A and B are shown apart, each in its own frame.
Chain A
Amino acid sequence: MALLEIKDLHASVADKPILKGINLTINPGEVHAIMGPNGSGKSTLSNVLAGNEAYIKTAGQVLFDGIDIDELAAHERACAGMFLAFQYPVEIAGISNMYFLKAAVNAVRTYQGIDQLDAMDFLDLVEEKKSVVKIRDDLLERAVNSGFSGGEKKRNEIFQMAMLEPKLGILDETDSGLDIDALRIVSDGVNALRSPDRGFLVITHYQRLLDYIVPDHVHVLVDGQIVKSGDKELALELENEGYASWVDEKGA
């Protein structure tokens, strides 16, 4: 069974149509990259999938692990194994990263019918996972994303993904604002999480990220539609030629 099956997906933001018929299938173990110019609908796609209410799905169907996502509220999609690494992770003052993560891990476990982790087991899991993105202890104790640098926030997103062990990881322009070292660390983290049961949807503006996270499939998103799909070579092609020809063709 496909992990994610998107059929003719249309979506609007503030009554403005953004996605105009997306078709995409991701199988377990696959890494799909979506590239496209600004305003093509990349972030809209990730937000619609994750259930952000500001983004309205107007037509089509999305099956996640065989379940129509219309049946699931945002938190249920997360609990069912969909993880969105945010482009702009938000701050939550006064709540430590650890406390937040423990609540998240246990919410997911409860939903999946697994016993909650107690404090000791949770700490063991943190110890095990924190090496994935080389996250510093002081970041774990600080309030969620408060006073984190751009790179630290992205690293924290990947760390959360490692902790929550989702079936599908959606990376929304995770490379934006990262210097080359941070990019490498974050990419190494994602690569460490690649597995035959897990799929990834990597949304990016630049080919650079795909040097580190090598995709199985690359899709070009222009004006709310996938205009071309290919393998990793397609990304290199785009790097050389840019999006201009696609944008012109679409008349956008």
Chain B
Amino acid sequence: MKIEDEKSFDELTDKEYKYGFVTDIESDSLPPGLDEDIVRAISKRKNEPDWLTEFRLKAYRHWLTLEEPTWANVEFPPVDYQALSYYSAPKQKVDMPQSLADVDPELLATYEKLGIPLGEQEVLAGVAGAPTVAVDAVFDSVSVATTFKKNLEEMGIIFGSFSDAVKDHPELVRKYLGTVVPYKDNYYATLNSAVFSDGSFCYIPKGVKCPMELSTYFRINAANTGQFERTLLIADEDAKVSYLEGCTAPQRDENQLHAAVVELVAHKDAQIKYSTVQNWYPGDKDGKGGIYNFVTKRGHCRGDNSKISWTQVETGSAITWKYPSCILKGANSVGEFYSVAVTNNLQQADTGTKMIHIGKNTSSTIISKGISAGKAQNSYRGLVRVQETAENARNFSQCDSMLIGDKCGAHTFPYIDVNNPTAQVEHEATTTKIGEDQIFYCNQRGLDTEEAVNMIVNGFCKEVFRELPMEFAVEAQKLLGISLEGSVG
């Protein structure tokens, strides 16, 4: 390695988090701390019906009986839940934004900086060839603008903020909320059930194929505000939807807690594809700051022949604790999990999936690619359970780990629990170290080391990237490059 290169690697390593800026918007926050009054206050501010207030309170009371889980392969100082603020909404000059023009320009400028296609001029102007992406943007807990809503409404698709859905379609929310992730599910999901702020709601009616990718960008902005998103997505019989979720957050010194819950319901013959690109602030190279990402995501293949597919690219957060799962209840239902998890510096990730086979002829596929660089720890944790009722269930799992450098770690914790003798369960796992010989080969063809690593890692992740919608795949590759900058040298 030439000296100039070493220098440039240092520069890259020292590079500030690209999206680390703070938008100066007055936050309308509740005081820090958590008790029943705060839970009630959150519910009241959102004018929620009594049944929802009760749901929150039940969850809160149950949460008090729980302890933080310690089984994950991650380490972090204890979170002071009483020091967090549980509600924060950007103040608007008018009470309700009627259109993008009503939205705080500073907010729009923030999204602009992030390259988020909210208020995409071309789309709004109806320019031919413009991407058809409907965006429900969540800015610190409250949805500020929804585009394409009308277009979707005509097809009977409901897509908007969770709060709006509570107002406009309470019967749907009440029918499905907590049916996939019950309020007692786990410490973080229970906390979320008590204090969730906002999120997205989507309902695709019978027989409707959603004609565009639905996307939501999450972003944490106010200091010390835990973000508790709640997403509920229902595909009714024979409906089809692809949903994209991408996240970035501004730089902060305090660790920020993010405990989201995502529930998916797929009825008979329905298909849901849920893709995530997660790029929250991972902390600096000494491990200071960064998001704690403790998320519960679960899909329920409720009807026969239904399908739920999770694709995730996780490059950010100081700690990731996340297991997007599928409960395969309907006969012939299909669950898929495609994951790329990248950890650099002092990042920790404990992520994977659970595939619970209940119905006959259910099948699941798990493809997990873990990449560790710096001093990071990356764990795959997955459960494949075949219940007695699941005749002819099939699973294929492939867990590959790549190590960059010699100070990082890769771990695999596969759990397999088969209770039906007709099941076929396959598990493959590999661990590779990025080869000096591969890098030299690329160097010798004119690619610098950074490009070489990028290329090798992207090749490693290809099976997952090809599952992503096109625009996301490109973004994911870029993110991977940004995440691994300075990891070799």
Contacts and interface: CB of A to CB of B under 8 A. Distances in A.
A164 B445 contact: yes
A51 interface: yes
Contacts of B441: 86, 89-90, 92
A109 to B, nearest CB: 9
B1 interface: yes
Contact of B436 (A53, A93, A143): A53
A84 interface: yes
Contact of B443 (A73, A89, A92, A95): A73
Contacts of B442: 75, 92
Contact of B438 (A50, A78, A90, A103): A90
Interface string B437-470: 1101111111111011001101111110000000
A24 interface: no
A160 interface: yes
Interface in A94-113: 94-95, 100-101, 103-105, 107-108, 111
Interface residues of A, number: 32
Contacts of B437: 90
Given A86-B441, A90-B435, A92-B438, A75 B460 contact: no
Interface string B14-56: 0000000000000000000000000000000000000000000
B4 interface: yes
A75 B443 contact: yes
Which of A50, A53, A143 has the most chain B CB atoms inside 10 A of its CB?
A53
Taking chain B's interface residues, is the majority helix, strand, or loop, or is none over half, making it mixed? helix
B460 A107 contact: no
Contact of A94 (B1, B444, B447, B462): B462
A74 interface: yes
A108 B444 CA distance: 10
Interface in A53-96: 53-54, 72-75, 77-79, 83-84, 86, 89-90, 92-95
A149 interface: no
Contacts of A143: 459
Contacts of B458: 94-95
A52 interface: yes
B435 A94 contact: no
Nearest to B5: A73
Contacts of B448: 73, 75, 107
A54 B459 CA distance: 24
A72 B448 CA distance: 12
A78 B445 contact: yes
Contacts of A101: 445
A78 B440 CA distance: 11
B1 A95 contact: no
A41 B435 CA distance: 23
Nearest to B466: A94
Nearest to B369: A94
B7 to A, nearest CB: 12
A115 B461 CA distance: 30
Given A92-B459, A95-B456, A143-B459, A73 B446 contact: no
Contacts of A77: 444
A72 B446 CA distance: 12
A92 B441 CA distance: 10
Contacts of B436: 53-54
Given A84-B444, A100-B445, A73 B4 contact: yes
Contact of A79 (B446, B449, B460): B446
Nearest to A83: B444
Contact of B440 (A53, A79, A95, A100): A53
Given A73-B2, A107-B446, A94 B451 contact: no
Given A92-B459, A94-B461, A95-B455, A104 B446 contact: yes
Nearest to A88: B437
Interface in A130-163: 143, 160
B445 A104 contact: yes
Contacts of A52: 440
Which of A84, A111, A143, A160 has the most chain B CB atoms inside 10 A of its CB?
A84
Interface in B335-369: none
Contacts of B455: 92, 95, 100, 103
Which of B2, B5, B441, B444 has the most chain A CB atoms inside 10 A of its CB?
B444
B445 A73 contact: no
Contacts of B459: 92-95, 143
Contacts of A86: 441, 444
A75 B452 CA distance: 10
A94 to B, nearest CB: 3
A104 B4 contact: no
Contacts of A107: 445-448, 451
Given A73-B2, A78-B444, A104-B446, A93 B460 contact: yes
B446 A94 contact: no
A92 B447 CA distance: 14
Contacts of A105: 446
A206 to B, nearest CB: 24
A51 B443 contact: yes
A116 to B, nearest CB: 12
A50 B435 contact: no
Nearest to A112: B446
B1 A164 contact: no
Contacts of A111: 446
Nearest to B465: A94
A93 B400 CA distance: 12
B340 to A, nearest CB: 12
Nearest to B445: A104
Nearest to A163: B445
A108 B5 CA distance: 18
B446 A108 contact: yes
A78 B462 contact: no
9 contacts: A73-B448, A78-B446, A89-B441, A90-B438, A93-B462, A100-B445, A104-B446, A104-B447, A108-B446
Given A54-B436, A90-B435, A92-B442, 18 more contacts: A51-B443, A51-B444, A52-B440, A53-B440, A73-B1, A74-B443, A75-B444, A78-B443, A78-B444, A78-B445, A79-B446, A90-B437, A90-B441, A93-B460, A101-B445, A107-B445, A111-B446, A143-B459
Interface of B: 1-2, 4-5, 435-438, 440-449, 451-452, 455-456, 458-463
Interface of A: 50-54, 72-75, 77-79, 83-84, 86, 89-90, 92-95, 100-101, 103-105, 107-108, 111, 143, 160, 164
